[in-house]
């Protein structure tokens, strides 16, 4: 392993033949030809001029909580370690806050709540960096981050310049954005959010209202909602610090409502929610559990026995072994229900 930094332009560290074991929450022991860790966004142009990187493929990585490496990466992985939260001029009806991409998302959510800001409470305890949040348009318990993002700042790796995207320009969709559709073009450096002064807590998602009732909360404030979400996530989802995982590995599929109605004739308990354009959203967890894959284990690759959506690494599973198991799950659901599940994390190296 070789490390180098540029004394003329401090702000980054380059490591050759770098282990990615601590850079992905599935704990896959893959390696990268180069790992570039940036502590100052002003150093990005100088980093890209390093001779070893000029004609090398680049992969942009946050905290690795939404990625599966199926093998080694023969290129440079770029990750931001920047820090900083700034309260911007007030918008009257909303607080405006700018936060560096390298901040930990859950830390930022907890900071907003501690400062009395509302809106992000449903998104507490989601692993990953702030910069990864708009990429995936992270969402939980009926809320998506795209509802609150005002601006996304980034460095355009193709045009070699700093740019800013308004909310509409981000083209947010369900677990989707323009950044996800072009995953290695824009290196997100910061986001700005608008958090409303008048905010009605969102408690209508399945299980959330029941948890608040269990807690004895009749009129929930944002902090109560956050506590309820933490309770639910802690009970349902395995902790990446305890067992390797990337959270929900499969998206809830959107299918034609007519297909849902046909499936419900055979499976009356099938959960579904109206979506848009004549589609409905199905519970991927229910589909996986119904075919008996919850808790399945093949070597060290497995499906969590706590939540059927979570792919887990019990110890030393390779990325290829984890992906093989994920493919088996997808094929099982497709065969039984005629529905193809899509992975939520980015899968690197799969063909």
Q: Report, as residue numbers or ranges, the catalytic residues.
A: 175, 248, 344
**Residues whose CB falls within 8 Å of the CB of residue 49, separated by 6 or more in sequence, listed in order:** none
Q: Where are the beta strands (DSSP E) in 26-184?
A: 31-38, 58-61, 67-69, 73-80, 85-87, 94-100, 139-140, 143-144, 149-156, 161-166
Q: In angstroms, how far is CA 99 from the centroid of its own chain?
A: 17
Q: What is the DSSP letter of 253?
A: P
**Residues whose CB falls within 8 Å of the CB of residue 329, separated by 6 or more in sequence, listed in order:** 250, 288, 293, 296, 303, 341
Q: How many other β-carbons are positioned within 10 Å of the β-carbon of residue 334? A: 13
* Cα separations in angstroms, 14 against 4, 46, 65, 67, 227: 5, 12, 21, 21, 40
- What's the burial of 112, exposed, middle or buried (CB within 10 Å: 0-12/13-18/19+)? buried
Q: What is the DSSP letter of 53?
A: G
What's the rounded Cα separation, in Å, for the pair 47 and 35? 11
What's the rounded Cα separation, in Å, for the pair 120 and 92? 19
Q: Any idea what the Cα angle at residue 341 is, between residues 29 and 317, rounded to 5°?
A: 20
């Amino acid at each position: 392993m070789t490390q180098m930094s540029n004394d003329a332009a401090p702000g980054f560290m380059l490591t050759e033949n770098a282990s990615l074991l601590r850079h992905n929450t599935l704990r896959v022991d893959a390696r990268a030809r180069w790992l570039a860790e940036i502590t100052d966004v002003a150093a990005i142009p100088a980093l890209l001029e390093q001779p070893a990187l000029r004609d090398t493929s680049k992969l942009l990585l946050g905290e690795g909580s939404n990625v599966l490496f199926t093998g080694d990466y023969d290129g440079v992985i770029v990750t931001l370690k920047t820090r900083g939260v700034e309260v911007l001029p007030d918008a009257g009806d909303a607080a405006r806050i700018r936060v560096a991409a390298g901040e930990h998302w859950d830390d930022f959510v907890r900071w907003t709540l501690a400062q009395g800001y509302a809106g992000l409470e449903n998104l507490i305890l989601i692993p990953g960096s702030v910069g990864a949040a708009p990429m995936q348009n992270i969402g939980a318990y009926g809320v998506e981050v795209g509802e609150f993002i005002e601006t996304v700042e980034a460095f355009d790796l193709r045009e070699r310049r700093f740019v800013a995207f308004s909310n509409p320009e981000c083209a947010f969709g369900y677990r989707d954005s323009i950044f996800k559709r072009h995953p290695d073009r824009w290196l997100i450096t910061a986001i700005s959010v608008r958090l409303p002064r008048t905010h009605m807590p969102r408690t209508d998602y399945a299980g959330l209202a029941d948890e608040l009732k269990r807690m004895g909360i009749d009129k929930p404030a944002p902090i109560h909602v956050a506590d309820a979400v933490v309770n639910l996530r802690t009970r349902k989802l395995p902790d990446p610090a305890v067992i390797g995982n990337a959270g929900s590995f499969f998206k809830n599929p959107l299918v034609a409502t007519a297909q849902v109605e046909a499936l419900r004739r055979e499976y009356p308990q099938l959960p579904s929610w109206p979506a848009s354009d004549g589609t409905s959203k199905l519970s991927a967890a229910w589909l996986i559990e119904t075919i008996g894959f919850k808790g399945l284990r093949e070597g060290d690759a497995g499906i969590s026995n706590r939540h059927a959506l979570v792919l887990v690494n019990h110890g030393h599973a390779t990325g290829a072994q984890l992906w093989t198991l994920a493919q088996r799950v997808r094929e099982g659901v497709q065969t039984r229900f005629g529905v193809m599940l899509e992975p939520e994390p980015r899968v690197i190296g799969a063909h």
